[in-house]
Amino acid sequence: MKFGIDRLLADPELRRPLEGKRIALLAHPASVTEDLTHSLDALVATGLNVSAVFGPQHGVRGDLQDNMMESPDYTDPTYGMPVFSLYGEVRRPTGQSMGTFDTILIDLQDVGCRIYTFVTTLLYVLEAAAEHGKSVWVLDRPNPAGRPVEGTTLLPGWESFVGAGPMPMRHGMTLGEMGHWFIRQFNLDVDYRVIEMEGWQPDAAPGFGWPIERPWINPSPNAANVNMARAYAGTVMLEGTLLSEGRGTTRPLELFGAPDIDAKKLIVAMYTLAPQWLAGCTLRDFWFQPTFHKHVGALCSGVFIHAEGAAYDHQAFRPWRLQALGFKAIRKLYGDYPLWRDFPYEYVFDKLAIDVINGGGDLREWVDDAAAEPGDLDARTLPDEAAWIEARRPHLLY
């Protein structure tokens, strides 16, 4: 198969509308061609006039680890062009930076989750392009989490940098498709084009969204592999808790744990509460010791989520429910365990992080309500998921 960048490079006719234009590139370390050349170098080599580069959260170089670690603007040392950070002094493109190009090419590897901030950056670029009369092209890439949908819809008033609009946590779209939905949802008047992939089969084994012949390159420092991308729509919620999500280990966002829980008992409790929510994966108890971040230096009892191997079932695996069940099981075993982490999350200072992550308080309230059952969360969530599947249908390209 071919990604959008590879089709653009291979076909002069696709590039023809860019001739004579000033071209900007929004990219990160995973913005590479099929032979692993960075897209910036490949585009410059075609003779296109690349006049500026933009970087999302974690930067063009992907060097910054955690949330709210900002990247500066700088000058590219190879080509001498300006590099503008969209996660620094600003998160929306400014008039000054918008004046450096005519068309912006967005070549970002996403992981298929609303909270992964490249989705919001796409919206902000589309809005700025509509305001300034610029063109936006998305060079499309696979959604490694595939087509499945999961989670409640972000509620009105809960929009943030991790909540661009009324979609569920696991949206099942590519960035190119999401751009079409944003334009319809927010009634944007913008010149928009998607350079589609060729041969992407999001429901086909064995990759189920990710073509196994393509190497995985971290789009952000803690997105280390496809297993992480599959689990992330659940494990990202750990950022709003006092449980470790594995930062400071070699497998972040594929696990959860703490020094004061018993992972073996926790897994048993999860299977007792809602075994149907644990289908399609394998849970393994293990030990880990973070070298930085939460519980640094402490020996933690943990649960590792294997959305891989012979037991993996792509359609059955439900990471958001799995992680919610982990929280519920901790409540059952440990009563008033201090789950929720109260700190500024992605520039929201007046709401609990777990609620910002979920776009409302429903999940936290379900976890904390001792009388609430798994069926109660399903009753709240299933209609939202069904509505999203219908809403996205006109915008699917594959």
pLDDT at 286: 98
Q: What is the pTM of this model?
A: 0.95
Dihedral, CA of residue 338, residue 340, residue 342 and residue 345, to nearest 10: 150
Residues of the chain with pLDDT under 50: none
**How many angstroms from the chain centroid is the CA of residue 321?**
17
Contact 26, 54 (CB under 8 A): yes
Gap between the Cα atoms of 299 and 119, Å rounded? 35
Contact 305, 260 (CB under 8 A): no
Cα–Cα distance list, 45 to 20, 38, 48 (Å): 15, 11, 7
pLDDT at 222: 94
pLDDT at 66: 52
Q: All domains of the chain, ordered by start, with CATH?
A: 4-220 (3.40.50.12170), 226-388 (3.90.1150.140)
Render pLDDT for 59-86 as a digit per residue (tens, 0 to 9). Answer: 787 555 555 555 788 999 999 999 999 9
Contact 94, 82 (CB under 8 A): no
Residue in the structure block whose two tokens are 């690349």: 50
